[in-house]
Structure 1
Amino acid sequence: MADVVGNKNAKDYYIGVPQPKSSFHVKGMDHVDWGMKDRLSRIFNPKSGNTLMLAFDHGYIMGSTFGLERLDLVIPELAEDIDVFMATRGGLRSCVPPTFNKAIALRCSAGSTVASEDVIKEVIGVDIEDAIRMNASCMAVQTFIGTEEEKSSLQNLVKTIDAGNRYGIPTLGVVAVGKNMVRDTRFFLLATRVLAELGAQIIKTYYCDEFEKVTAACPVPIVIAGGKKLPEESALEMAYKAIQEGASGVDMGRNIFQAENPKAMTKAVAKIVHEKYTGKTAYEFYMDTK
Structure 2
Amino acid sequence: MDWGMKNRFSQIIKPEDGRCVMLAVDHGYFLGPTERLENPRETIRPLLNLADSLMLTRGVLRSSVTPESNTPIVLRVSGGSSIIGEDLSKETITTSIDEAIRLNASCLALSIFVGSKYEYQTLKNLAKLVNEGEKYGIPVLAVTAVGKEMARDARYLGLACRIAAELGAHIIKTYHCVDFRKVVDGCPVPVIIAGGKKLAERDALQLTYNAITDGASGVDMGRNIWQSDNPVAMIKAVRKIVHENFTAQQAYDHYLDLIGLKNTIRKGTSART
| TM-score tier (shorter) | over 0.9
**Which residue in the other structure is 1:185 paired with?**
154
Counterpart of 1:107, as a letter, is R
Counterpart of 2:20, as a letter, is T
Q: Secondary structure at the match of 1:77?
A: coil
Is 1:281 paired with 2:250? yes
**Which residue in the other structure is 1:28 paired with?**
none
Equivalent of residue 149 in structure 1, options 102, 113, 118: 118
Aligned residues: 259
Moved over 6 A (4+): none
Q: In 1, distance between residues paired with 2:18 and 2:85?
A: 39
8 Å CA contact 1:111, 1:120 repeated in 2 = no
Identity %: 54
Counterpart of 1:146, as a letter, is G
What TM-score do you get using the length of structure 2 for normalisation? 0.93
After superposition, where does 1:1-290 map in structure 2 within 5 Å? 32-290=1-259
Deviations 1:189-231 (A, max 9, x none): 1000010011000000000001111111110000100000011
> Which region of structure 1 is more displaced relative to structure 2, 114-123 or 135-144?
114-123
Q: Which runs of 5+ in 1 are unaligned?
A: 1-31
What TM-score do you get using the length of structure 1 for normalisation? 0.88
Counterpart of 2:246, as a letter, is Y
> Which region of structure 1 is more displaced relative to structure 2, 185-194 or 44-53?
44-53
Q: Which runs of 5+ in 2 are unaligned?
A: 260-273
Q: Secondary structure at the match of 1:36?
A: helix
**How far did 1:111 drift?**
1.3
Q: Secondary structure at the match of 1:105?
A: strand
Q: In 2, distance between residues paired with 1:92 and 1:84?
A: 12
Q: Secondary structure at the match of 2:48?
A: helix
8 Å CA contact 2:49, 2:71 repeated in 1 = no
Q: In 2, distance between residues paired with 1:46 and 1:165?
A: 21
**How far did 1:117 drift?**
2.5
Q: In 2, distance between residues paired with 1:122 and 1:224?
A: 21
